[in-house]
Structure 1
Amino acid sequence: MNTLPSPDAIARAAALVAAADAIVIAAGAGIGVDSGLPDFRGNAGFWKAYPSLAADGTAFMDIASPTAFHENPRRAWGFYGHRLALYRRTAPHAGFAILRRWGESTPHGSFVFTSNVDGHFQRAGFSPQRIDECHGSIHRLQCLGPCSPALWPATGLEPVFDEVRCALLGPLPACPYCGGIARPNVLMFDDWAWNDTLREQQAQRCRSWLDGVRRPLVIEIGAGMNIPTVRHFSHRVVLQHGGSLLRINPREAQIGNLPGVALAGGALACLAAIDAVLSGGAR
């Protein structure tokens, strides 16, 4: 059972939030745990969420790949269709609103950098113009081929799937341009056909925004070392833009020599505790 960090650590984290001229939210899968989403930490966690894949030893890296769509598209869409439905029906927890409010109270606002593909920051009211989805989004589709660089929204897609067998039951999602199989616009493992056009636009907006801030606080939440994309981004911002780091992670919260505070705890509990300190004093 995770315990809340010490009052002193929470107070130091609150002081960082109060002093920031901008908030950079760097989020990994762990931020969604308090919303009820799985974080797929290792095969044990993944197979607990998808027992049918555990039965034949299919690992996360095996199903989350273009090869899975080419070899068994119904199974691949069973997995991604289930995830799409899960993300749609799950509401972002209250910590998202806390982060948004903190950002709105700073001179330069906030920018989100996330490896999550669930679209929950948009659902929580963050501006899409201030979100960099480094691994894409499950709410956009592209051609599996691909036949073109086109992207289109998944809003009309309502996949019907057998959750027990992890298999799509209805028609395979099709590319409107060539009629071939469509896939999520998500960066998968060994993925050389991912269309990163929109993501590059997001990244450029993030770089331009960072050039205009002076005291950014990077609030990194739920980003582990297994796939360290978010952690590398956090370190880069702190070192290149004179920022500080507030790392919230129940297992891997150390920050080494970087300026900032590490909180070993869950996202919502830590954010709520910091917010209580801020609410009790002047910003």
Structure 2
Amino acid sequence: MDITQNIQKAKQLLEEADAIFITAGAGMGVDSGLPDFRGVEGFWNAYPKAKELGLQFEEMANPEWFESDPQLAWAFYGHRLHLYRDTEPHEGFKKLLELSNTKKYGAFVFTSNVDGQFQKAGFLDERVMECHGSIHNLQCIDNCEGMLWSSDDTLIEIEEGFRAKEPLPSCPFCGAMARPNILMFGDFGWEYARTNGQRERLVTWMDKIEEEGGKLAIVEIGAGTTVPTVRNTSDQIAKRFSIPVIRINPRESFGAEIELPMGATEALCDII
């Protein structure tokens, strides 16, 4: 594999395209200083308390904790909420946004990240689909009204022993425990109406490009194979439009026509 050649190919595809489909996984945020929770060690480095309790990410990211140990659940999600709030999106986001603004159909983002970094970087909310929801919205643990509300006013203070300080966020409709509107593992109570609305907008955008014969380019950043939702989406759309995927991933760039085994910022600054 010739990386220089692949950079040139990617550059050309992005230049010639009049629509950009951006797909992104946890690896997109690493250059902004966000943890990607890769492997149990990565997760435990970010959350020593979870290591102490012998909990893996899949076990910690489970709605059951909001029932059985809400102070622990909110310490975990509260910490992430403040982390994402305080994080500035890296240069790669800016490059993608500038490129998108030069295209006839602009761009659409499909991401498994719940951090809201694309919107923070200036991408329009109506051009982002967050397939696992967003930490910036809350819902009732019982999903009593099927409603979401913003977590902008939510402040979580974390005490000794990794416990969230009372009072914890509660549902404004019924007073039950509140939780982030994030699709967790073993999650049957997730309110998906917002994400469904995003999906409908994405479908409309794609259909329009196809009907009008627009030239689409796909750039995928930091999407791993553990939960392959993002990679599968890139591949499906690539097949539909008969175009290659530009896959940026330092460790798992395999399986694409244009493989760039690099970090997000470096690769995006090279190809845009």
Deviation, 1:8, is 2.1
Check if 1:173 corresponds to 2:181.
Answer: no
Q: Which letter maps to 1:247?
A: R
The residue aligned with 2:68 is 71
Alignment counterpart, residue 186 of structure 1, candidates 182, 207, 215: 182
In structure 2, list runs of 5 or more residues that go unmatched: none
3-state SS, counterpart of residue 66 of structure 1 = coil
**1:156-235 matched pairs, under 5 angstroms:** 156-162=153-159, 165-213=161-209, 214-235=214-235
Worse-matched range after superposition: 144-153 or 211-220: 211-220
The residue aligned with 1:281 is none
Contact (CA 8 Å) 1:114, 1:134: kept in 2 or not? Answer: yes
Contact (CA 8 Å) 1:215, 1:243: kept in 2 or not? Answer: no
3-state SS, counterpart of residue 172 of structure 2 = coil
Task: Write out per-residue CA displacement over residues 165-215 of structure 1, whole angstroms, 9 at most, x where no aligned residue.
Answer: 221013110100000100000000010100000100000000110112232
- In the aligned structure 1, how far is the partner of 2:205 from the partner of 2:174? 38
Deviation, 1:244, is 2.6
Contact (CA 8 Å) 1:161, 1:170: kept in 2 or not? Answer: no
Q: Which letter maps to 1:151?
A: L
Deviation, 1:104, is 1.4
Q: Which letter maps to 2:202?
A: C
Worse-matched range after superposition: 95-104 or 135-144: 95-104
- In the aligned structure 2, how far is the partner of 1:206 from the partner of 1:23? 12
Q: Which letter maps to 2:194?
A: L
3-state SS, counterpart of residue 134 of structure 2 = strand
Q: TM-score, normalised by structure 1?
A: 0.92
- Percent sequence identity is 46
Aligned length: 267
The RMSD of aligned alpha carbons is 1.2
Contact (CA 8 Å) 1:216, 1:242: kept in 2 or not? Answer: no
The residue aligned with 1:141 is 138
Alignment counterpart, residue 124 of structure 2, candidates 106, 112, 127: 127
Q: TM-score, normalised by structure 2?
A: 0.95
Deviation, 1:90, is 0.6
- In the aligned structure 2, how far is the partner of 1:198 from the partner of 1:160? 28
